[in-house]
Structure 1
Amino acid sequence: MDETIKELLNREPSRWGNLPKSVFERDILLLQETVTKLTEEASLLMAKLLFAYQNKDEDFPRAFEVEAVRSAVSHLEKHYKGEMFSPSSFRKMLAEMEEKTE
């Protein structure tokens, strides 16, 4: 994630009120663009996973299935903050799938 976005996300609320209008508008636009980009990435990822799931071959995963899972694992490692799953479980699923393709 871009350093500017990280700074904006971690900015103390008391600092928002002291910003000039032009800076505030710039920051809001940057946040909106970032949300749009992440939404598009997540949507593409879900589409790939749905396609891979619909066309899966559990015994012999095809390249598009492995790539969909690889993309999902990469995205989840960067962005998943939940407690239901651990990052190691994502990597394990991918490793198991890649093992079947060898």
Structure 2
Amino acid sequence: MPADHYTYRVTWSPEDGEHVGLCAEFPSLSWLARSPDAALKGIRAMVADTIADMKKNGESVPEPFAEKRYSGEFRVRIPPEQHRALAMLAAEQGVSLNRLVSMKLAA
């Protein structure tokens, strides 16, 4: 799996006083650098090295989020009282419970 297919993010770390490069598919990895560009370059190289090491050791490499297929469905457990309140709100708004929850998640 090419390292450039993964999901990267660079953010500022106030604790470290530097930019930190992160990869969503490898949450235990990070790279600190003085510039955002260097943080991104560092985390990408670290991910590439990690993938090579995992392959060498016969470990399975995480699939990039961009290449996964998503059904658009997931199940959420909530207390019955909250379920009732949401169902009533959906009925009052004239929408399905699914539509109401989808709109709330999108907001």
Greater Cα radius of gyration, structure 1 or 2: 2
Higher strand residue share: 2
TM-score (norm 2): 0.28
Q: Which has the higher contact order (CA 8 A, sep 6+)?
A: 1
Higher helix residue share: 1
